[in-house]
């Protein structure tokens, strides 16, 4: 295949995104570790402050889950004078996802890299994001076409950094190393690692069980070894899954829970 130069539309993307202060990629080595859940709940938690404007762009093109977990799955994208308007979940929280364009949630998206690249470009070039404090990118697991596309399109406007979500198990941690390697090669700063489902707090007795092996400190030890911050550990709490199924903010519905404390602590570090 012929080597191609950078996309000629990168300067247009750069101009479109100039009002966005922080662009954060949320990555995970494996699927099912809670990356989309984390992205959504981070978005809600950041937007609790009404002076903070937040956008979420779902670039998990083949598995878009943002419309459901942000509680806006029946919304449609509307055309604006100058492109598309994202879906507003609340005044200061906007979402964009291919999920809004599919005839049904069951409809599979079977696209090759160039087509995904084209849609990601549209999400960045044609959406009226306006000025935002944070634009969070929910990415597919692993490192694939979508990651390469977003890194390419943000090469001039800059990526604030990546947050890597993992569960405590060794197999998941191994894949975190691959994500970190990707960040190094793509020159994306790593903000840190979030350990999700790091323990289970019994709603009855409030005792904490470490339900995964290794039972303690796998992510912490890895972060220490690699010299990157462990941003926080979010316990497994069924109410998080419930909040996502109902498209609501976990930190609002369960303000006193250990998981909320973890989310707020993570926010203070990014």
Q: How many CB atoms lie within 10 A of CB 142?
A: 16
| Residue 33 in the binding site for ligand ADP (CB under 6 A) | yes
Q: How many residues does the chain have?
A: 270
CA Rg value for the chain = 18
Calpha distance 259→191 (Å, rounded): 20
Calpha distance 249→246 (Å, rounded): 9
Segment contacting ligand ADP by CB under 6 A, of 28-36, 76-84, 106-114, 127-135 = 28-36
Shortest distance in whole angstroms from residue 254 CB to ligand ADP: 11
Q: Counting beta carbons within 10 angstroms of the beta carbon of residue 2, is it exposed (0 to 12), middle (13 to 18) or buried (19 or more)?
A: exposed
By CB under 6 A, name the one of 86, 89, 237, 270 that touches ligand ADP.
237
| Residue 150 in the binding site for ligand ADP (CB under 6 A) | no
**Nearer residue to ligand ADP within complex by CB, 13 or 33:** 33
Q: Are residues 40 and 247 in contact, defined by beta-carbon separation less than 8 angstroms?
A: no
By CB under 6 A, name the one of 48, 139, 196, 249 that touches ligand ADP.
196
Q: Counting beta carbons within 10 angstroms of the beta carbon of residue 171, is it exposed (0 to 12), middle (13 to 18) or buried (19 or more)?
A: exposed
Shortest distance in whole angstroms from residue 24 CB to ligand ADP: 15
Segment contacting ligand ADP by CB under 6 A, of 25-33, 92-100, 201-209, 210-218 = 25-33
Segment contacting ligand ADP by CB under 6 A, of 81-89, 91-99, 107-115, 240-248 = 240-248
| Residue 241 in the binding site for ligand ADP (CB under 6 A) | yes
**Nearer residue to ligand ADP within complex by CB, 18 or 209:** 209
| Residue 236 in the binding site for ligand ADP (CB under 6 A) | yes
Closest CB to ligand ADP belongs to which residue?
Answer: 34
Segment contacting ligand ADP by CB under 6 A, of 110-118, 175-183, 207-215, 236-244 = 236-244
**Closest among 100, 117, 25, 99 to 62, alpha carbons compared:** 99
**Nearer residue to ligand ADP within complex by CB, 34 or 43:** 34
Calpha distance 235→198 (Å, rounded): 5
**Nearer residue to ligand ADP within complex by CB, 12 or 102:** 102
**Nearer residue to ligand ADP within complex by CB, 93 or 165:** 165
Q: Would you say the C-alpha torsion 166, 134, 136, 144 has a positive or negative sign?
A: negative
Q: Would you say the C-alpha torsion 195, 196, 197, 200 has a positive or negative sign?
A: positive
| Residue 65 in the binding site for ligand ADP (CB under 6 A) | yes
By CB under 6 A, name the one of 20, 25, 34, 120 that touches ligand ADP.
34
Calpha distance 96→213 (Å, rounded): 36
Per CB under 6 A, residues contacting ligand ADP are 28, 31-37, 65, 196-197, 234, 236-238, 240-241, 244
């Amino acid at each position: 295949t012929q080597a191609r130069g950078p996309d000629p539309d990168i300067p247009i993307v750069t101009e479109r995104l100039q009002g966005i202060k922080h662009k954060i990629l949320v990555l995970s080595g494996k699927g099912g570790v809670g990356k989309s859940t984390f992205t959504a709940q981070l978005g809600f938690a950041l937007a609790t402050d009404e002076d903070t404007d937040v956008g979420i762009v779902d670039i998990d093109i083949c598995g878009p889950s943002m419309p459901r977990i942000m509680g806006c799955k029946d919304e449609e994208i509307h055309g604006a004078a100058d492109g598309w308007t994202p879906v507003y979940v609340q005044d200061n929280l906007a979402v964009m996802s291919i999920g809004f364009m599919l005839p049904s949630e069951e409809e599979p998206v079977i696209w090759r890299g160039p087509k995904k690249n084209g849609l990601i470009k549209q999400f960045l070039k044609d959406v009226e994001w306006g000025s935002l404090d944070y634009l969070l990118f929910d990415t597919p697991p692993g490192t694939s076409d979508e990651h390469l596309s977003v890194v390419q399109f943000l090469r001039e406007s800059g990526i604030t950094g990546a947050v890597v979500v993992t569960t405590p198990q060794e197999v998941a941690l191994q894949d975190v190393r691959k994500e970190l390697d990707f960040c190094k090669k793509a020159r994306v700063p790593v903000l840190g690692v979030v350990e999700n489902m790091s323990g289970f707090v019994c709603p009855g007795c409030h005792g904490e069980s470490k339900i995964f092996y290794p039972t303690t400190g796998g992510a912490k030890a890895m972060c220490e070894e690699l010299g990157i911050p462990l941003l926080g550990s979010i316990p497994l709490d069924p109410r998080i899954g419930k909040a996502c199924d109902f498209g609501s903010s976990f930190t609002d519905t369960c303000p006193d829970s250990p998981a909320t404390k973890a989310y707020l602590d993570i926010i203070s570090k990014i």
